Each structure stands twice: as C-alpha cells, then as structure tokens.
Structure 1
C-alpha cells in the first residue's frame, strides 16, 4: 500500500500558518513513508471560491517546499457526488427533510427545556408521501440528511453506538453516534456540504491517511459511517492540535491573520515557517531545521500535544536568524544577486555578515556600507576625533589580509593607550556608522585601504 495523504483547503482566502501546519504534517508524513501528496481544493462553495485563491495556495505551498503529486478540484467532480447520493438514497440512508432554520431552532430549544440533547429528532422520517408532496407544492425544497447507524431497528430508538479509531496523532478515539444529529449532506439548493464530497474523494483518490485539525474529531465518526455506507474501508485518521495567535485568538483565512503571504513578504524564510509550524506544540524543541527532509525524519505526529498551541511570530525571527547564520553562499547566491549583491567580494561578504542578519534583505544595508561607507555617517564625539586621526595615520599598508584589523588595532593601542570599548567603538562607528555588526576583521579586507581612508572623520 502506498501511503497517500491530501491537503484540502477551501480556496476562499489565503492560507495562514495554521493551514500550513496541516499541509506540512501531511507532506512530512508522505515524505517519511515515501508516499504521495494530493492537493485537493474543496471548492463546492462556488459563491466564495476563487481561482486566484487556489493559485495563491499552490504558490504558498511551493514556497514552503511542498510539491503535490496530484491536484484536484471538487467543482469538477459533481458527477461522482451525484452518483454517491443516488447510492445512499437507494440504500435508504439519505432522506429528505423540509424544516426551515427557524423550525429547527425551535425544536432544539424545546429539547433543551425537556433535558434532552439538542439533536435532530428525525421527524422527517414520519412524513407521509402526501405531506411531502404538500411541502413541495408550497415551494419548499428538501435538504437531505444521512441516517446515522445508531439504532437497531427503530430509528427513533437510538442507542449508544461507538465509532472507534486509532488516531495517528491522538491515539485511541471514540465518538458516540447517538449523541449526534443526522448530518445534512445536501442543501435545499442541491449544493453539497463538505462531508460527502470529502468522503467520496478520499475513496476515489485512494487516500490512506487523513491528517487534519482536531476540530474535525467529531466529523470523523460521521464520515467513517458514510465510508461504510458506501462500501469502503475508512482511511486512518489523525487530528493535530490547532494554532492560535499569541493572544489566544483563532486563525482565519478571511482575516488574513498570519498568512503565509504576509510572512513571506516580511522576509521570513520558508524553513523558519515550516520549523515553527511543525514543531510548536510538540515534544520536540523548536529549532531551525535546515531542510524538510531532516524535518520529516524528526516528525512524529504522535508527539503533538492535545491542547491548542500559541504561535508567536517573534519566534520566527529567532529561527530566521539561526537559519541564515548557517546558510552557505551557494544557497543564496541568486537571491543576493537579485538584491544587487554580486561580484568577486560577494561570497566573502556573505560569510562576514550572515551572522548579523535577521532577514536576507538586511544584507543590502551592509553591502551599501561596504561599498559606500556609513549610511549616514555616525556622529563622532569630540574626544574621539583626535584619537581617530591618530588611528588612521597608523593604518597599515597593503596588501591586506585577515590579520589587518588585529595588526592595526595593536598599533593604535600601543600609540594611544586606549583599549577595550574606548579603542574599538570609535573605530567601528567611523567605519560602519553603527555600534554593532559583523566582525571588522572580516569586513576590513573587503573595504580595502583606500575605502577605509575615505571614512576618516
């Protein structure tokens, strides 16, 4: 059996870090088991679904390093769902209901006042042919409910009916079908809710493992019943914990909170996003993992906490910094070139500055300092101007190598008596305009003697 997973967002907005967590869980699971990844767009809601959102989701996935083996759109598969509906109707487990929303709300309130769970009472099963005809004559169109198998012979005498599965993430799980309402699978206008198309697609696409957020745990009991009603063996299910904002709020595609697009535009590396999205809320320490292949090796869905995890964007900066500090020049050569960083000194420059970057684009400001001097020049205290004049008079002759900084500062120290911060800070300010940054021992050979003299206050 080839492990086959799917990521099935609705293309109604741009995906956020929580959606990416689900996509990455599935991708890493497929990588780990040498399986397949199906990208499926649940776009049966034709009013809100947009191709531009589907395209942006694919772009975001590719940026993260996820490349689907197969891409499907539910809006192109209605014939399969229609056939499944016909099968369920023929089996007597899909029945028409005519209640309005207001009528259903009233019935739930009545059941609560009687101490009963607010589940649908299957009143539509008692309708006669004449009553159904009357409703339809009045212009009412039915919605269709799936008859849950939570009774022995009389559907009005429900009994505890447990659906069990060994959850890939959470371990043993149980849902009692008697505690649930018969789910609506088809709306009054003939459109499909999520539940049935998802099951049909999982069957026809050979999905072996469904890994998704734990807000779907209850849905799983219902879907397993539908799989069996359609004569199919259910896949394995796994439900990971959800991510919230740092303040505990839920994430939404519609609000754009922590969207992958916004994180990318802010200069965050894809592996920083992947590392935090996957490792937060697990027993693994959150750290910057240099490749998805390595992340897949460490990935264990069962190590995920059952409680929601807070996603703090500030942690991305820490991970981003760590990743860049260990990124080779070959890995960023082309991206640096796009930023204007190129030429014979580009590699040495990258090796000198990468340890001081939060984002790759930060290299541009250091490149300008290297080529043009401080941006702008720092203000030099009066007591340091005379010292700097002496220091620049002692600048070693070329050729310069990696020892020039050490040799120069040794001469300056001996001539002026300055040491420590009093020695190094004025020199750093004159050379870079900043109080901190890359090692001047690495930068000075790149600036050159002429460029250094040009920075003399």
Structure 2
C-alpha cells in the first residue's frame, strides 16, 4: 500500500500559515513514508470558489517546496457524488427533511430548556408520503441527512455508540455518535456540504492517511461511519493543533491574516515559514531548518501538543536572519542577480553582507553602498572629517585583501593616536554612511582604493 495523503482547501481565498501547517504536515508525512501527495480543491461551492484562488494556492505551495503528485477539483466530480447519494438512499441511510432553519432553531431551544442535548430528533423519519407531498406543494425542497448508526432497531432510541481510532497525532480518540445530530449531506438546492464529497473522494483517490486540524475531530466519527456506509475501510486520521495569533484569535482566509503570499512579498524565506509552521506547538525547539529534507527528518507528528499554539510573527524574522546568515552563495546567486548583483564581486559581496540581512532584498542596499557610496553623506564633525581625510591619505596601494583593513587602521592609529571607537566609527560612517553593518575588513576590498578615496568628506 502506497501512503497517500491530501491537502484539500476550498479555493475561496489565499492560504495562510495555519493552512500551510496542514499542507506541510501532509507533505512531510508523505516524504517520510515514500508516499504521494494529492492536491484537492474542495470547490463544490461554485459561487465562492474561484480558479484564481486555486492557482494562487498552487503557487504558494510550490514556493514553500510542496509539489503535488496530482491535482483534483471536486467541481468536476458531481456525477460521482450523485451516485453515492443514490447508493445511500437505496440503503435507507439518507432521508429527506423539510424543516426550515427557524423551525430547527426552535426545536434546539426546546431541547436545551429541557436539559436535553441539542441534537436533531429525526422527526423527518416520521413523515408520511402525504405530508412530504404537502411540503413539496408549499414549495419546500428537502435537505438530506445521513442516518447515523447509533441505534439497534429503533432510530428514535439512540444508544451510546463509540467510534474509536488511533490518531496519528493525538493517540487514542473516541467519538460517541449518539451525541451528534444526523449530518446534512445535501442542501435544499441540491448542492453538497463538505462531508459527502470529501469521503467519496478519499475513497476514490485511495487516500490512506488524513491529516488535518483538530477542529475536525468530532467530524471524524461521522466520516468513519460514512466510509463504512459506502462500503469502504476508513483511512488513518491525524489531527494537529491549531495556530492562533498572539491574542488567541484564529487565522482566517477571509481576513488574510499572515497569508503565504503576504509573507513572501514581505521577504520571508519559504523555509522560515515551513520551519515555524511545522515545529511550533511540538516538543521540538523552533529553529531555522534550511532544507525540506532536513525538516522531514525532524518531523514527528506524535510530538504535537493538543493545545492551540500562539505564535509571534516576529519569530519569522528571527528564523529568516538565521537562514540568510548561513545561506551559501550558490543558493542566493539567481535571486541576487535579479537584484542587479552579479559579476566577480557578487560572491565575496554576499559573504560579506549576509550576516547583516533581515531579508535577502536588503542586499540591494548594501550593493548600492559598495558600488555608489552612501545614500546620504555622513554627518561628521569638523574634527572627525579632518581625521578621515588624514586616514585616506594613508591608504595602502592595491592589491587589497582581507588583511588590508587591519594594516591600514594600524597605520592610522600610529599616525593620529586614535584608537577604538573614535578611530573606527568615523571611518565606518564615511565609507558606508551607517553606524553599523558588515565587517569593514570584508567590505574594503570590494570598495577598492578608488572607491574608498571617492568617499573623502
């Protein structure tokens, strides 16, 4: 059996870091088990689903390093779902209901007032053909509920019916079907809710493991019952904890909180996102992991906490710095070239500045400093300006290398008597226009003697 997982968002908006967590859990699980990753778009809501969102989700996944083995769309599979509906109806497991939303809400309140669980009482099972015809004559159209197997002989006498599974993430889990209402699978207008197409597709596509957020734990009991009603063996399930913002709010595609596209556009590296999305809320320490293969080696779903995980978006920037500070030139070369950073100085430049970058795009600013000088001339006191002039007069002849800075500043120290910060800071300000940055010993050979002299105040 080939391990087969799926990531199945609705293409109704851009995915965020919480969605990426689910996608990455599935991708890494497939990687560790030599399996397949199916990208499925749950787009049965034709009014809200858009191809542009599906395309954007695929782009975001590719950027993260996830490359599906197959891509499927539920909107192209309605005939398969129609056949499943007929099968359930023929088995007496899907029944027509005519209550309005207001009527259902009233019944729910009555049950609560009697201290009864607010589950659907299966009143529609008692309807006669004449009563159904009367509702139809009124213009009512039925919605269809799945009859849960939580009784022996009489569906109005439910009994505790436990569904057990060994959760990939959470360990042993149990759901009592008697505590749940029969779920609606088909709306009045004939469109499908999430549950039926999802289960049918998981069967048809050979999904062996379903890994998703823990907001689906209760749904799993219903879905296991539906798998069996359709004559299929349920797959293995895993439910990871959810990510929230620092104030405990859930993430939403609707609000665009921490969207993958937004993080990409802000200069965050894909492995910064992947590292945080996977490792936060687990017993593993959150660290910048440079490659997906290494992250897969560290990935263990059983170490995931059962509690929601709050995270600080600023932590992404910390991970970003670590990745950039250790990134080899070969990995950065094409992106640097796109910023106009190329030629024989590109590699030594990268090695000189990478330790001072928050985002790779910040390298463009340092390239400008090296090639053209400070964006704004340094503000030096008259005394410091005179000192810099003296120091430039002592510049050694080329060729220059990594030892030039030390030999030059030693000569300046002997000639002027300055040392420490009073010596180094005016030179840094004159050469870069900034009070901090890369080691000047690394920058000086990039500036060259002519470029250095051009910065005389």
TM-score w.r.t. the length of structure 2 is: 0.99
Match of residue 364 from structure 1: 364
Mapped to 2, the partners of 1:317 and 1:247 lie a distance apart of 19
**Cα deviation code 1:1-49 (max 9, x no counterpart):** 1100000000000001100110000000000101000000000000100
Aligned runs of 1:142-157 on 2, under 5 Å? 142-157=142-157
Mapped to 2, the partners of 1:39 and 1:183 lie a distance apart of 26
**Cα deviation code 1:283-341 (max 9, x no counterpart):** 11111101111101110011111111113110011101100111111111111111110
Mapped to 1, the partners of 2:283 and 2:423 lie a distance apart of 47
Match of residue 5 from structure 1: 5
Mapped to 1, the partners of 2:84 and 2:389 lie a distance apart of 86
Match of residue 260 from structure 1: 260
How far is 1:394 from its partner? 1.1
How far is 1:393 from its partner? 1.4
How far is 1:384 from its partner? 1.1
Match of residue 30 from structure 2: 30
Mapped to 2, the partners of 1:227 and 1:79 lie a distance apart of 18
Q: Secondary structure at the match of 1:144?
A: strand
How far is 1:386 from its partner? 2.1
Q: Secondary structure at the match of 2:188?
A: coil
Mapped to 2, the partners of 1:358 and 1:393 lie a distance apart of 35
Mapped to 1, the partners of 2:389 and 2:138 lie a distance apart of 97
Match of residue 194 from structure 1: 194
Runs of 4+ with >4 A deviation: none
How far is 1:137 from its partner? 1.3
Mapped to 1, the partners of 2:381 and 2:208 lie a distance apart of 70
Q: Secondary structure at the match of 1:5?
A: strand
Q: Secondary structure at the match of 2:5?
A: strand
Q: Secondary structure at the match of 1:210?
A: strand
**Cα deviation code 1:329-381 (max 9, x no counterpart):** 11111111111101110011001001110001000000000001111111012
Aligned runs of 1:206-355 on 2, under 5 Å? 206-355=206-355
Match of residue 104 from structure 1: 104
Match of residue 86 from structure 1: 86
Aligned runs of 1:345-424 on 2, under 5 Å? 345-424=345-424
Mapped to 2, the partners of 1:363 and 1:175 lie a distance apart of 54
Match of residue 184 from structure 1: 184
Q: Within the alignment, does 1:439 sit opposite 2:439 as a pair?
A: yes
Mapped to 1, the partners of 2:386 and 2:131 lie a distance apart of 102
Q: Secondary structure at the match of 1:185?
A: strand
> For this pair of structures, how many residues does the alignment match?
457
Mapped to 2, the partners of 1:113 and 1:399 lie a distance apart of 89
Mapped to 2, the partners of 1:226 and 1:131 lie a distance apart of 28
Mapped to 2, the partners of 1:153 and 1:382 lie a distance apart of 98
Mapped to 2, the partners of 1:40 and 1:140 lie a distance apart of 33
Q: Secondary structure at the match of 2:164?
A: strand
How far is 1:249 from its partner? 1.0
How far is 1:126 from its partner? 0.6
Mapped to 2, the partners of 1:87 and 1:258 lie a distance apart of 42
- Segments of 5+ residues of structure 2 without an aligned counterpart are none
- Please give the root-mean-square deviation of Cα atoms over the aligned residues, in Å: 0.7
Mapped to 2, the partners of 1:13 and 1:80 lie a distance apart of 26
Mapped to 2, the partners of 1:341 and 1:224 lie a distance apart of 56
Match of residue 118 from structure 2: 118
How far is 1:392 from its partner? 1.1
Match of residue 14 from structure 1: 14
Mapped to 1, the partners of 2:153 and 2:421 lie a distance apart of 87
How far is 1:418 from its partner? 1.4
Mapped to 1, the partners of 2:175 and 2:96 lie a distance apart of 25
How far is 1:382 from its partner? 2.4
Match of residue 70 from structure 2: 70
**Cα deviation code 1:236-266 (max 9, x no counterpart):** 0000001111221111111111000000000
- Segments of 5+ residues of structure 1 without an aligned counterpart are none
TM-score w.r.t. the length of structure 1 is: 0.99
